[in-house]
Structure 1
Amino acid sequence: MTILSIIIFLIIGGIAGWLAGLLIKGRGFGIVGDIIVGIIGAFIGGFVLVFFGLAGLFGASIISAIIVAFIGAVILLSIIKLVKKM
Protein backbone atom coordinates (compact mmCIF):
# COMPACT_ATOMS: atom_id res chain seq x y z
CA MET A 1 0.00 0.00 0.00
CA THR A 2 1.51 3.31 -1.05
CA ILE A 3 1.14 6.61 0.76
CA LEU A 4 -1.19 7.83 -2.00
CA SER A 5 -3.53 4.86 -1.57
CA ILE A 6 -3.60 5.44 2.19
CA ILE A 7 -4.48 9.10 1.65
CA ILE A 8 -7.25 8.16 -0.81
CA PHE A 9 -8.53 5.55 1.65
CA LEU A 10 -8.70 8.17 4.41
CA ILE A 11 -10.40 10.71 2.15
CA ILE A 12 -13.04 8.18 1.05
CA GLY A 13 -13.60 7.15 4.68
CA GLY A 14 -13.90 10.78 5.74
CA ILE A 15 -16.42 11.64 3.04
CA ALA A 16 -18.53 8.54 3.66
CA GLY A 17 -18.46 9.00 7.44
CA TRP A 18 -19.33 12.69 7.16
CA LEU A 19 -22.28 12.00 4.83
CA ALA A 20 -23.55 9.21 7.07
CA GLY A 21 -23.17 11.44 10.13
CA LEU A 22 -25.25 14.13 8.43
CA LEU A 23 -27.95 11.61 7.56
CA ILE A 24 -28.17 9.77 10.87
CA LYS A 25 -27.26 12.33 13.53
CA GLY A 26 -27.78 15.59 11.67
CA ARG A 27 -24.08 16.53 11.94
CA GLY A 28 -20.66 14.98 11.54
CA PHE A 29 -18.37 13.62 14.26
CA GLY A 30 -15.26 15.65 13.51
CA ILE A 31 -12.57 14.71 11.04
CA VAL A 32 -11.16 11.74 12.96
CA GLY A 33 -14.59 10.38 13.93
CA ASP A 34 -15.88 10.67 10.36
CA ILE A 35 -12.84 8.85 8.99
CA ILE A 36 -13.18 6.04 11.53
CA VAL A 37 -16.91 5.65 10.86
CA GLY A 38 -16.26 5.70 7.10
CA ILE A 39 -13.48 3.11 7.23
CA ILE A 40 -15.48 0.73 9.41
CA GLY A 41 -18.47 1.45 7.17
CA ALA A 42 -16.45 0.48 4.10
CA PHE A 43 -15.81 -2.95 5.59
CA ILE A 44 -19.45 -3.36 6.62
CA GLY A 45 -20.73 -2.11 3.26
CA GLY A 46 -18.41 -4.43 1.37
CA PHE A 47 -19.48 -7.40 3.48
CA VAL A 48 -23.19 -6.62 3.09
CA LEU A 49 -22.92 -6.22 -0.70
CA VAL A 50 -21.01 -9.49 -1.05
CA PHE A 51 -23.48 -11.25 1.26
CA PHE A 52 -26.44 -10.18 -0.89
CA GLY A 53 -24.61 -10.84 -4.17
CA LEU A 54 -24.43 -7.18 -5.17
CA ALA A 55 -20.64 -6.81 -5.09
CA GLY A 56 -20.28 -6.12 -8.83
CA LEU A 57 -23.15 -3.66 -8.93
CA PHE A 58 -21.16 -0.50 -8.25
CA GLY A 59 -17.92 -1.12 -10.15
CA ALA A 60 -14.47 0.03 -9.08
CA SER A 61 -14.47 3.83 -9.14
CA ILE A 62 -13.88 6.26 -6.28
CA ILE A 63 -17.56 7.26 -6.36
CA SER A 64 -18.60 3.63 -5.97
CA ALA A 65 -16.17 3.23 -3.06
CA ILE A 66 -17.76 6.25 -1.36
CA ILE A 67 -21.25 4.80 -1.95
CA VAL A 68 -20.30 1.41 -0.49
CA ALA A 69 -18.59 3.03 2.51
CA PHE A 70 -21.60 5.33 2.98
CA ILE A 71 -24.01 2.36 2.99
CA GLY A 72 -21.88 0.61 5.59
CA ALA A 73 -21.47 3.75 7.69
CA VAL A 74 -25.24 4.31 7.73
CA ILE A 75 -25.71 0.71 8.87
CA LEU A 76 -23.05 1.18 11.57
CA LEU A 77 -24.52 4.44 12.86
CA SER A 78 -28.04 2.99 12.84
CA ILE A 79 -26.89 0.06 14.97
CA ILE A 80 -25.06 2.41 17.36
CA LYS A 81 -28.17 4.60 17.62
CA LEU A 82 -30.35 1.56 18.42
CA VAL A 83 -27.92 0.30 21.05
CA LYS A 84 -27.75 3.72 22.74
CA LYS A 85 -31.57 3.79 23.03
CA MET A 86 -31.58 0.52 24.99
Structure 2
Amino acid sequence: MSVDALLPIIIQVISGVVGGQAVGAAIKTAAMGQLPKLLSGAIGGVAGGQILGALLGGGGAAADAATGGGLGGLLGDVLGGAGGGALLTGIVGAVLKNKG
Protein backbone atom coordinates (compact mmCIF):
# COMPACT_ATOMS: atom_id res chain seq x y z
CA MET A 1 0.00 0.00 0.00
CA SER A 2 1.38 3.38 -0.94
CA VAL A 3 1.42 6.54 1.14
CA ASP A 4 -1.19 8.03 -1.19
CA ALA A 5 -3.61 5.24 -0.26
CA LEU A 6 -2.89 5.44 3.48
CA LEU A 7 -3.01 9.22 3.91
CA PRO A 8 -6.82 9.59 3.62
CA ILE A 9 -7.33 6.75 6.11
CA ILE A 10 -4.86 8.29 8.57
CA ILE A 11 -6.64 11.65 8.25
CA GLN A 12 -10.00 9.98 8.85
CA VAL A 13 -8.70 8.15 11.94
CA ILE A 14 -7.19 11.29 13.45
CA SER A 15 -10.22 13.46 12.75
CA GLY A 16 -12.48 10.68 14.03
CA VAL A 17 -10.56 10.52 17.30
CA VAL A 18 -10.84 14.31 17.64
CA GLY A 19 -14.60 14.18 16.96
CA GLY A 20 -15.00 11.29 19.38
CA GLN A 21 -13.08 13.08 22.12
CA ALA A 22 -15.22 16.18 21.67
CA VAL A 23 -18.45 14.22 22.01
CA GLY A 24 -17.05 12.14 24.86
CA ALA A 25 -16.21 15.32 26.75
CA ALA A 26 -19.66 16.74 26.07
CA ILE A 27 -21.45 13.60 27.26
CA LYS A 28 -20.15 13.42 30.81
CA THR A 29 -23.03 11.22 32.01
CA ALA A 30 -21.89 8.27 29.88
CA ALA A 31 -18.82 7.64 32.10
CA MET A 32 -16.76 6.46 29.13
CA GLY A 33 -13.11 5.66 29.52
CA GLN A 34 -10.47 6.81 27.07
CA LEU A 35 -10.19 3.50 25.25
CA PRO A 36 -13.86 3.34 24.15
CA LYS A 37 -13.68 7.00 23.05
CA LEU A 38 -10.50 6.41 21.07
CA LEU A 39 -11.68 3.21 19.42
CA SER A 40 -15.17 4.42 18.57
CA GLY A 41 -13.76 7.71 17.28
CA ALA A 42 -11.21 5.99 15.05
CA ILE A 43 -13.63 3.39 13.70
CA GLY A 44 -16.38 5.95 13.21
CA GLY A 45 -13.91 8.31 11.55
CA VAL A 46 -12.93 5.81 8.88
CA ALA A 47 -16.54 4.75 8.32
CA GLY A 48 -17.77 8.35 8.17
CA GLY A 49 -15.01 9.36 5.79
CA GLN A 50 -15.77 6.45 3.48
CA ILE A 51 -19.52 7.08 3.54
CA LEU A 52 -19.17 10.82 2.91
CA GLY A 53 -16.72 10.14 0.11
CA ALA A 54 -19.13 7.71 -1.52
CA LEU A 55 -22.07 10.10 -1.16
CA LEU A 56 -20.12 12.96 -2.71
CA GLY A 57 -19.06 10.76 -5.59
CA GLY A 58 -15.45 10.46 -4.50
CA GLY A 59 -15.68 6.85 -3.40
CA GLY A 60 -13.66 7.31 -0.21
CA ALA A 61 -9.99 6.63 0.38
CA ALA A 62 -9.60 4.16 -2.48
CA ALA A 63 -10.86 6.65 -5.05
CA ASP A 64 -8.81 9.45 -3.48
CA ALA A 65 -5.67 7.36 -3.92
CA ALA A 66 -6.54 6.57 -7.52
CA THR A 67 -7.46 10.12 -8.53
CA GLY A 68 -5.02 12.09 -6.41
CA GLY A 69 -7.60 13.32 -3.90
CA GLY A 70 -7.14 17.07 -3.84
CA LEU A 71 -8.56 19.58 -1.41
CA GLY A 72 -12.11 18.28 -1.82
CA GLY A 73 -10.94 14.79 -0.89
CA LEU A 74 -9.00 16.10 2.10
CA LEU A 75 -11.90 18.21 3.32
CA GLY A 76 -14.28 15.27 2.88
CA ASP A 77 -11.91 13.03 4.85
CA VAL A 78 -11.69 15.52 7.71
CA LEU A 79 -15.41 16.32 7.86
CA GLY A 80 -16.51 12.73 7.36
CA GLY A 81 -13.98 11.49 9.88
CA ALA A 82 -14.92 14.00 12.55
CA GLY A 83 -18.64 13.50 11.99
CA GLY A 84 -18.42 9.72 11.92
CA GLY A 85 -16.21 9.62 15.00
CA ALA A 86 -18.55 11.93 16.90
CA LEU A 87 -21.63 9.96 15.86
CA LEU A 88 -20.27 6.54 16.75
CA THR A 89 -18.83 7.79 20.04
CA GLY A 90 -22.23 9.26 20.91
CA ILE A 91 -23.91 5.94 20.16
CA VAL A 92 -21.36 3.98 22.20
CA GLY A 93 -21.75 6.47 25.06
CA ALA A 94 -25.52 6.04 25.03
CA VAL A 95 -25.22 2.25 24.99
CA LEU A 96 -22.70 2.25 27.85
CA LYS A 97 -24.88 4.65 29.83
CA ASN A 98 -27.96 2.45 29.46
CA LYS A 99 -25.99 -0.75 30.12
CA GLY A 100 -24.52 0.41 33.42
Structure-1-length-normalised TM-score: 0.51
CA separation in 2, counterparts of 1:21 and 1:33? 9
Q: Which amino acid aligns with 2:89?
A: L
Question: For the aligned residues, what is the CA RMSD?
Answer: 3.7
CA separation in 2, counterparts of 1:33 and 1:66? 21
Gaps (5+ residues) in structure 2? 59-70
CA separation in 1, counterparts of 2:37 and 2:90? 15
CA displacement at 1:11 relative to structure 2:
4.0
Query: How many residues were matched structurally?
Result: 77
Cα contact 2:19–2:41 (8 A) shared by 1: yes
Cα contact 1:13–1:38 (8 A) shared by 2: yes
Q: Indicate the structure with greater helix content.
A: 2
SS in 1 for 2:72: coil
Q: Which amino acid aligns with 2:88?
A: L
Aligned to 1:59: 72
Identity %: 24
Aligned to 1:41: 44
Aligned to 1:21: 24
> Larger radius of gyration, structure 1 or 2?
2
Cα contact 1:15–1:66 (8 A) shared by 2: no
